[in-house]
Amino acid sequence: MKAEIITIGDEILIGQIVDSNSAYIAKSLNNIGISVYQITSVQDDRIHILKALKSAQKRVDFVLMTGGLGPTKDDITKTTLAEYFEDTLVQNTKVVEHIKNLWKKYIKQPLLQVNLDQALVPSKATVLMNNSGTAPGLWMEKDGTVFISMPGVPFEMKALMRNEVLPRLSKTFKLPFILHKTILTYGLGESVIADRISDWENQLPNSIKLAYLPNLGRVRLRLSSKGFDKAKVQTDIQAQIDTLLPQISDIFVGFEDNNSIEQIIGKQLVKMGKTLSVAESCTGGKIASKFTAHAGASAYFLGSVVAYDSSVKRHILGVTSASIQRHSVVSAEVVEAMAIGVQKQFNSDYAIATTGNAGPTKGDSNAEVGTVYIAIATPKTVYSQHFVFGKQRERVVTKAVNMALTMMQKEIFKN
Amino acid sequence: MKAEIITIGDEILIGQIVDSNSAYIAKSLNNIGISVYQITSVQDDRIHILKALKSAQKRVDFVLMTGGLGPTKDDITKTTLAEYFEDTLVQNTKVVEHIKNLWKKYIKQPLLQVNLDQALVPSKATVLMNNSGTAPGLWMEKDGTVFISMPGVPFEMKALMRNEVLPRLSKTFKLPFILHKTILTYGLGESVIADRISDWENQLPNSIKLAYLPNLGRVRLRLSSKGFDKAKVQTDIQAQIDTLLPQISDIFVGFEDNNSIEQIIGKQLVKMGKTLSVAESCTGGKIASKFTAHAGASAYFLGSVVAYDSSVKRHILGVTSASIQRHSVVSAEVVEAMAIGVQKQFNSDYAIATTGNAGPTKGDSNAEVGTVYIAIATPKTVYSQHFVFGKQRERVVTKAVNMALTMMQKEIFKN
């Protein structure tokens, strides 16, 4: 059972937005046993959409589309879909009621004909109610291929996937179990890892696929397999992991599974009953926003100080002017003082601090662009490490965030 | 002149990563006059890549590929490209030298045969040197279509685009001028705007395309046109904008162009010689990281306090316990006190503050999920607004960030 995702919208093809819908849909489909064969992004253009639908139908069993369902003239997905199915649009009473209700309850602007026209759907379509917006999802079938059309607004699409599309797919089709296990490593390049584990890689059965995903200091190793016997798929992958881990114990950091590293840290802190605060200079709030992106962060995350200007390091974090003058703002002494400062100010058990020069020019220190110091304060001690992360600003910041999280994870899992 | 972008990698099709490369490439191509017809993401699979290359060749003049150029076994783009061109791989001496140099200067791990094999390239290919990594870019031509292959690691791809691909495309082909102008509006839905400006929209010439891009309270209107006469393209679009603006003056916020709203704010603050600090509760560091994502932020951005726990609001920001008890942490009084507190602590001219309940459960206040207060402190005064942003956590946070930036923009542009 294979799917293709078609995202529709000129804004994708001119690079005005990053298509993040596809990754969400692909991950959700994988979770219920459907592999995604291809992702195709096309323009808001009738001919182009028709061609894409026709090609996709030849390749896959399920076509999931997003975009082009709005009420304005540039939105043509619905009429084009009707044309592809040689169908006409009819008014759906349930959707009319839903739209009228939305306006009555939440929307102060007048209800226009174009809003009511959102209830026009192809007569052959099954309507998937969209409780977060006006455009309903549509489910249509042609010669054994299912076509599902959803709005492009991410939260509307996500709610439709969760509440309508995924349950209906799981109920209608007998789907296999797909398992991806991702091993996080830190410290060696992908070619060196591949060289070291080549005997193991060569003996992998065809049913298990291995991928190397390098990303700024970390390499993730992903093992994938699928089958209708869920227990067997799990046992087979686990057996391979058990053989692999002793060979990479020095660089093994943990498993990614569905949790990101900040979620793993958060869960562990909650388990330990401990709290965390952060003092960020060169990472500019990115570490805090990683933690707070997940619901429940308030159980362990007290807050953060983004000390972008060195006066903030002094006034809020209590780093002394003498220390800054003697060692410069980019130094082990200052980053450790920042960690202790924020730990004390916020009264947290642990603290992370970063200071560095992300470039492109030297800031208020003489440190080379790319120089970063990261400190961890624990209930008992404080320590820091020095890094040189290259010359590109974006890369320096991302590497610093990754490394700070890795250091924190190592700290709380070391026992 | 049309292009197709092909991104190669199983990690895209299982939703493990969001394909952000395509948006970067699409935007860069648009800037030099090349329209992107389609974006296609395919698996690390020989047959699938060959099919994608063949279909793309029929559709477009340029095919830009990323991914699958690494040194491990799952990377097969290069050999597949050689097969498509009925070509063989030969060693490129310049790339060998480059790799040896990289190892000599930066890499402590042993230089393996697989690393040296990165210098094997199709004999018909023009090599585009990759100074940020080991895999070179490749430029090949077949029956009038240009195929360009680049690594999937974003910073390597970006450097190759900037230094090699774009200059070479501009030099080799006579390309038109493409112009996108995006108008930011806030306050009305897309259907109401469309209704209001329908006469104007109906008289637009065919050469100018209009798109509506709704996003959580904001609607962006994008006008696009292209032609070989740059001055005419610019004049024609400007004439349409001059007619449109008086009709939407009440909701007009500004132009997006290539600057994001936080960059527009930053530039204006630098021009005014003023500074900014931020106190964030429900937005958890996202406002700070928006500002600090851009080089040069230190010229106006002093820092931020992420006050996730209410003790932080008291100790660091000086919000009184009495005020919190009387009004609750999610209130106009507290958010204004936070703004004044951070403005004072950081000694900044302006400050932004947010407090709210993003959900999914009620936090340390009784405010309904979705309730957000946003304050702006200026050199002369402080004020706040109250919002209800729905029930979905991600949506509440994004709306709050968007709204805080919009309020700040309005504040500093109001004269």
Alpha carbon B117 to chain centroid distance? 34
Considering only the beta carbons, identify the residue of A74, A345, A363 that sits closest to B315: A345
**Residue listed under structure tokens 């070179």:** B136
- Rounded CA separation A379/A415 (Å): 15
Considering only the beta carbons, identify the residue of A25, A74, A292 that sits closest to B210: A74
CB atoms within 10 A of CB A171: 7
- Rounded CA separation A191/A24 (Å): 30
Considering only the beta carbons, identify the residue of A70, A222, A311 that sits closest to B190: A70
> How large is the average pLDDT for residues B28-39?
95
Q: Does A347 touch chain B (CB under 8 A)?
A: yes
Chain B residues whose CB is inside 8 A of the A35 CB are 13-14
Residue from A348, A369, A352, A373 nearest A360 by CA: A369
**Residue listed under structure tokens 């063949």:** B54
Residue from B140, B156, B141 nearest B69 by CA: B156
Per-residue pLDDT, A317: 87
**Residue listed under structure tokens 């529709």:** A8
Which residue of chain B is at minimal alpha-carbon distance from A391? Answer: B132
Task: State whether A191 and B72 contact (CB < 8 Å).
Answer: yes
Q: Does A319 touch chain B (CB under 8 A)?
A: no
Check pLDDT > 80 for residue B88: yes
Confidence of residue B105 (pLDDT cuts 50, 70, 90): confident
| Residue numbers in chain A where pLDDT is lower than 50 | none
Window A:89-118, CB contacts with B under 8 Å: 107, 109-110, 112, 114-115
- Rounded CA separation A79/A122 (Å): 8
> How large is the average pLDDT for residues B288-293?
93
- Rounded CA separation B142/B63 (Å): 11
**Residue listed under structure tokens 């007048």:** A110
Rounded to the nearest 5 percent, the helix, strand and coil shares of chain A are: 45, 25, 30
Model confidence over B112-122: pLDDT tens digits?
999 999 999 99
Q: Extract the tokens encoding B182.
A: 């995006």
Q: How far is A61 from chain B (nearest CA, A)?
A: 16
Residue from B221, B66, B86, B49 nearest B137 by CA: B66
CB–CB of A24/A158 below 8 Å? yes
Task: State whether B194 and A71 contact (CB < 8 Å).
Answer: yes
Residues in chain A: 415
**Residue listed under structure tokens 């080991």:** B134
Mean pLDDT of chain B: 92
Which DSSP string corresponds to B300-360? TEEEEEEE-SHHHHHHTT---HHHHHHH-SSSHHHHHHHHHHHHHHHT-SEEEEEEE--SS
Q: How far is A20 from chain B (nearest CA, A)?
A: 6
CB–CB of B384/B403 below 8 Å? no
Tell me A329's DSSP state: S
Chain A residues whose CB is inside 8 A of the B191 CB are 71-72, 112, 114-115
Per-residue pLDDT, A216: 67
Q: Which amino acid is at A276?
A: L
Q: Does A74 touch chain B (CB under 8 A)?
A: yes
Q: Does A10 touch chain B (CB under 8 A)?
A: yes
* Three-state secondary-structure class, residue B275: coil
Q: Extract the tokens encoding B258.
A: 């290539």
Pick among A22, A58, A72, A114 to test the B interface (most B CBs inside 10 A): A72
Q: Is B280 exposed, middle or buried (0-12, 13-18, 19+ CB in 10 A)?
A: buried
Task: Give the CA distances from residue A150 to residues A130, A234, A287, B238, in Å, rounded to whole numbers and listed in that order.
Answer: 9, 33, 33, 35
- CA contacts within 13 A on the Cβ side of A261: 22
CB atoms within 10 A of CB A291: 26
Window B:238-297, CB contacts with A under 8 Å: 278, 284-289, 291-293, 295, 297
Considering only the beta carbons, identify the residue of B18, B41, B107 that sits closest to A20: B18
Task: State whether B73 and A194 contact (CB < 8 Å).
Answer: yes
Model confidence over B353-381: pLDDT tens digits?
999 988 877 766 778 889 999 999 999 99
- Rounded CA separation B342/B317 (Å): 6
- Rounded CA separation A290/A297 (Å): 10
- CA contacts within 13 A on the Cβ side of B371: 16
Considering only the beta carbons, identify the residue of A301, A361, A393 that sits closest to B308: A301
Model confidence over B249-258: pLDDT tens digits?
988 888 876 6
Task: State whether B28 and A20 contact (CB < 8 Å).
Answer: no
Considering only the beta carbons, identify the residue of A109, A155, A289 that sits closest to B395: A155
Model confidence over A88-106: pLDDT tens digits?
999 999 999 999 999 998 8
Which DSSP string corresponds to A22-72? HHHHHHHHHHTT-EEEEEEEE-S-HHHHHHHHHHHHHH-SEEEEES--SSS
Residue from B154, B136, B127, B7 nearest B67 by CA: B7
Q: Does B44 touch chain A (CB under 8 A)?
A: yes
Chain A residues whose CB is inside 8 A of the B292 CB are 284-286, 306, 308
Task: State whether B180 and A14 contact (CB < 8 Å).
Answer: yes
Beta strand A145-150 pairing with A137-142: antiparallel
**Residue listed under structure tokens 């500093």:** B412
Q: Does B394 touch chain A (CB under 8 A)?
A: yes
Chain A residues whose CB is inside 8 A of the B155 CB are 392, 394-395
Considering only the beta carbons, identify the residue of B15, B291, B292 that sits closest to A26: B15
Edge-to-edge order in the sheet of strand A350-356:
A382-388, A371-377, A350-356, A276-280, A301-307, B301-307, B276-280, B350-356, B371-377, B382-388
Check pLDDT > 90 for residue B392: no
Chain A residues whose CB is inside 8 A of the B209 CB are 10, 74
Check pLDDT > 80 for residue B217: no
Q: Does B48 touch chain A (CB under 8 A)?
A: yes
Task: State whether A19 and B39 contact (CB < 8 Å).
Answer: yes
Which residue of chain B is at minimal alpha-carbon distance from A343? Answer: B312
Residue from B5, B22, B35, B9 nearest B227 by CA: B35
Considering only the beta carbons, identify the residue of B224, B311, B394 that sits closest to A347: B311
- Rounded CA separation A36/A58 (Å): 14
Chain A residues whose CB is inside 8 A of the B22 CB are 12, 15, 18-19, 41
Q: Does A364 touch chain B (CB under 8 A)?
A: yes
- Rounded CA separation A130/A158 (Å): 10
CB–CB of A117/A82 below 8 Å? no
In the A/B pair of chains, how many CB contacts fall below 8 A?
322
